[in-house]
Amino acid sequence: MNHILPLIITFLAGLLMIVSEFIPHKPFERIVSELEIWFMIISGFAIILGQLSLIKMNVLKIQYKSENWKYCVVTLISFFIMLIAGLLWGTQNQGGIIGSGESLIQSIGSKPFDYIFDNIYQHLMASMFSLLAFFIASAAYRAFIARTLESSLLLISAIFVMLGNTSIGTSLTSFLPENLNFLHLPTISAFIMDYPNLAGQRAIMIGAGLGIIGSSLRIILGIERSWLGGKK
């Protein structure tokens, strides 16, 4: 029974969603809208589940003084500061429990939640994202070695695309006349992106799409059950 009920629900829900894609007549359109609203509600409530798990895990690590437990203290302090700031004074467009924090806005320029968001969080996010610039350089240094014919082609294409995407690349071949425009670096870069790259991307997308169809059918028909947490 543990597995039969979820399988039945999965089958019926899957079948309903597929069928309703083709039938505009009521009540199919209404059923789909209702399911869409249910999903929005569930995804909102599920956030609470995650936060409780996060708090529990960090509290237990602090309690048992596990390795690196001090990081957990930082996590929890940050979590509760943002939570309390948002609850008490609200965010830019919404008031909090005790008001809209006009006096705080006058002293620090914005509400505490927005102040921390603008001055700490945004910069942390941008810093993490900027790691990509460094990591791509080290990954490219390692990966673009002309060991074989295929890797040589990859290397040459990469150099053309990189140069074509920069102002330097545009300047390097800007002297070329109109009839030799096909040798202009941005043109070569655009050609590589629009034809071989696009063909490869489309092939991967088609393959992935078929993979999704296969996986979805296996799940809907109950052939694949590992997502439920068990074999047949």
Partner 1 sequence: MKKRLFCITIALGILSMLMSAHLFKVTDYPNDDGSAIKLQWDKSILESGHIELYKSTDNKHFIQIPLSSDMTEYVDKDSTFSGNMVFYRLDLKNHAGELVNFYKSSAIPKAQWFNTDKLPLLIILILFSSAIAYYVLSAKQGKELYIRKINGLDAMDEAVGRATEMGKPVLFVPGIMDLDDMQTIAGLTILGKLAEKTADYHCKLIVPVSKSMVLSAAREIVKTAYMQAGHPDEYQPDNIFYLTDDQFGYVAGVDGIIMREKPAANFLLGCFYAESLIIAETGFASGAIQTAGTAQPSQLPFFVASCDYTLIGEELFAASAYLSKDPQQLGSLKGQDFGKLVIILMIITGVILEIFGIHFLKDFFNIS
Partner 2 sequence: MKITTIDRRWIFLFILIGVGLPLMLPLGFKLEVTPNVQTVYNLIESTPENKVVLLSFDYDPASKPELHPMAFGIIKHAIDRKQKVACLALWPMGSQMVDDVYQNLKKEMPDIEYGRNFINLGYKAGGIVTIQAMGKNLKNVFPSDANGTPITNYSILNSIHTLKDFAWICSFSAGTPGLKEWIMVAKDKYNIPVTGGTTAVSTPGFLPYLNDQNQLTGLLGGLKNAAEYEFLIQRKGTATAGMDAQSVAHIIIIAFIVLGNVAFFVSKKRKKD
| Positions that interact with partner 2 (CB under 8 A) | 33, 36-37, 39-40, 43-44, 92-94, 114, 117, 121-122, 125-126, 128-129, 132-134, 136-138, 140-142, 144-147, 155, 158-159, 162-163, 165-171, 174, 186, 190, 193-194, 197-198, 201-202, 205
Q: Give 135 or 221: the residue with its C-beta nearer to partner 2.
A: 135
Alpha helices in 23-166 (DSSP H): 28-63, 69-89, 102-108, 112-116, 122-143, 149-164
Measured distance CA(90)–CA(84) in Å, rounded: 9
3-state secondary structure of 201: helix
Q: Which neighbouring-strand residues pair with 94?
A: 91
Q: Which of 156, 134, 135 is nearest to 145 (CA)?
A: 156
Q: Give 52 or 97: the residue with its C-beta nearer to partner 1.
A: 52
CB of 140 to partner 2, least distance (A): 5
Half-sphere exposure for 211 (CA within 13 Å, toward CB): 6
CB of 140 to partner 1, least distance (A): 7
Measured distance CA(170)–CA(163) in Å, rounded: 8
Q: Give which of partner 1, partner 2, none residue 215 binds (C-beta under 5 to 8 Å, depending on kind).
A: partner 1
Binds partner 1 (CB under 8 A): choice among 40, 128, 148, 150: 128
Dihedral (CA of 175, 179, 181, 182) sign: negative
By the criterion CB under 8 A, which residues form the site for partner 1?
A: 18, 21-26, 29, 39, 42-43, 46-51, 53-54, 57, 60, 67-68, 71, 124-125, 128-129, 131-132, 135-136, 138-140, 142-143, 200-201, 204-208, 210-219, 223-224, 226-231
